[in-house]
């Protein structure tokens, strides 16, 4: 009988993990701790033999798989079938937001109702069938080999149930840790559990902000959409973290806006920043807040707790005319462009905020 060994690992930490935000199939990058976790996982598995490396095609998984595959000269075999459960309209919202807005539906989520799906999402049963199918295909096409699979918490949860025979409703014995190896086996058409990682005794992977009291940096930003549904993004230079500079990024694109000054509200800052950066003067109240952010960010070499609100503003197309910029702001404001969601999704440029393409599609639906 041929035995296939599969090492399963969840991706490293993201900022959306910190915020307890539903990521689902949105393509969110690793944060600083997540990148350190990916390197730590590569060191932990340095002496392990792998014939193949499979991964979800989302970059938080791909970037966790990359250092392990590169050390062995292997190509990461990416597939959408290993993506996280599709949580539909919940994606991009925190658990607290979903609980407040979809209180009754959220109870179905908490009780692991296998036939429930958030609007436009997958049921747990559908997700389970997808994961079971792809793992079976991996095991069969890698018969007798040892392979690594990089994926998501939900995928690993289904794999654990597959290997232990537990139902979808039963409580899992141990959490799914970020960037930690777990082992299952496939032999003679049957799955078995080899080893499942536990938090006890494992070293904590530090983030640069651990132990620091981070100053709050509150900021108001404008998501300006024209009649075509395109977003106005400004090109900025300066303020990039050493990580992005090391990756070759020397500028980035972001929605207009900036930090609150003393005594300002988010709304007054929004008006000031729009006037200064684009020349746009708001008539009436600002649009609704369509996204928020609350996580550590690195500005230069300093860490701050970013508290951001994104206001939706629909307008006719116009050519921004920056006004009242300081000499330093003029140096760092390089230009502007209207971006479609597809252009953002396809671009290799550094674009903030995360999952902007998905947010634009949602607002244009």
Residues that are catalytic? 11, 84
Distance CA 304, CA 254 (A): 18
- 169: exposed, middle or buried (Cβ count in 10 Å: 0-12, 13-18, 19+): exposed
Residue 181 to residues 29, 55, 67, 141, 265, Cα–Cα distance (Å)? 20, 14, 14, 21, 46
Helices 153-164 & 124-141 angle (0-180, nearest 10): 70
Are the CB atoms for 71 and 42 separated by under 8 Å?
A: yes
CA-based nearest residue to 278, from 238, 339, 223, 327: 223
Query: What is the distance between the alpha carbons of residues 313 and 286, in angstroms, rounded to a whole number?
Result: 7
CA distances 223 to 70, 98, 314, Å, are 38, 22, 8
Query: How far is the C-alpha of 321 from the C-alpha of 237, rounded, in Å?
Result: 18
CA gap 245, 209 in Å, rounded: 19
Positive or negative torsion for Cα 131, 195, 46, 14: positive
Half-sphere exposure of 271 toward its Cβ, with a 13 Å CA cutoff? 10
* Tokens representing residue 116 in the block: 């429930």
Name the residue among 141, 116, 142 with its Cα closest to residue 127: 116
Q: HSE, CB side, 13 Å, CA atoms: give it for residue 211.
A: 4
Beta bridge partners, 78, equal 55
Report the alpha-carbon angle 285-308-264, nearest 5.
Answer: 55
């Amino acid at each position: 009988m041929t035995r296939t060994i599969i090492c399963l690992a969840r991706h490293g930490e993201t900022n959306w993990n910190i915020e307890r935000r539903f990521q689902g199939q949105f393509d969110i990058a690793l944060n600083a701790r997540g990148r350190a976790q990916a390197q730590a996982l590569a060191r932990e598995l340095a002496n392990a033999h792998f014939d193949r490396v499979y991964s979800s095609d989302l970059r938080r998984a791909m970037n966790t798989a990359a250092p392990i595959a590169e050390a062995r000269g292997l190509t990461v075999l990416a597939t959408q079938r290993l993506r996280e459960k599709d949580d539909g309209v919940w994606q991009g919202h925190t658990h607290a937001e979903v609980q407040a807005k979809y209180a009754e539906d959220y109870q179905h989520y908490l009780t692991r109702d296998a036939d429930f799906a958030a609007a436009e999402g997958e049921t747990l049963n559908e997700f389970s069938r997808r994961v079971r199918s792809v793992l079976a295909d991996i095991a069969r096409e890698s018969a007798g080999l040892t392979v690594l699979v990089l994926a998501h918490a939900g995928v690993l949860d289904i794999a654990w149930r597959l290997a232990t025979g537990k139902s979808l409703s039963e409580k899992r014995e141990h959490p799914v840790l970020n960037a930690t190896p777990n082992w299952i086996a496939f032999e003679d058409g049957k799955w078995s559990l080899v080893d499942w990682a536990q938090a006890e005794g494992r070293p904590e992977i530090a983030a640069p902000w651990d132990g620091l009291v981070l100053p709050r940096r509150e900021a108001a930003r404008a998501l300006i959409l024209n009649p075509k549904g395109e977003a106005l993004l400004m090109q900025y230079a300066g303020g990039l973290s050493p990580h992005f500079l090391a990756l070759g990024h020397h500028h980035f694109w972001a929605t207009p806006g900036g930090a609150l000054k003393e005594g300002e509200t988010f709304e007054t800052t929004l008006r000031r920043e729009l006037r200064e950066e684009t020349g746009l003067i708001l008539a009436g109240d600002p649009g609704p807040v369509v996204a928020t952010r609350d996580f550590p960010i690195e500005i230069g070499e300093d860490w701050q707790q970013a508290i951001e609100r994104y206001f939706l503003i629909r307008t006719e197309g116009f050519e921004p005319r920056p006004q009242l910029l300081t000499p330093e702001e003029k140096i760092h404001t390089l230009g502007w462009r209207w971006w479609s969601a597809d252009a953002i999704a396809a671009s290799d440029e550094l674009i903030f905020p995360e999952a902007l393409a998905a947010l634009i599609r949602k607002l244009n639906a």
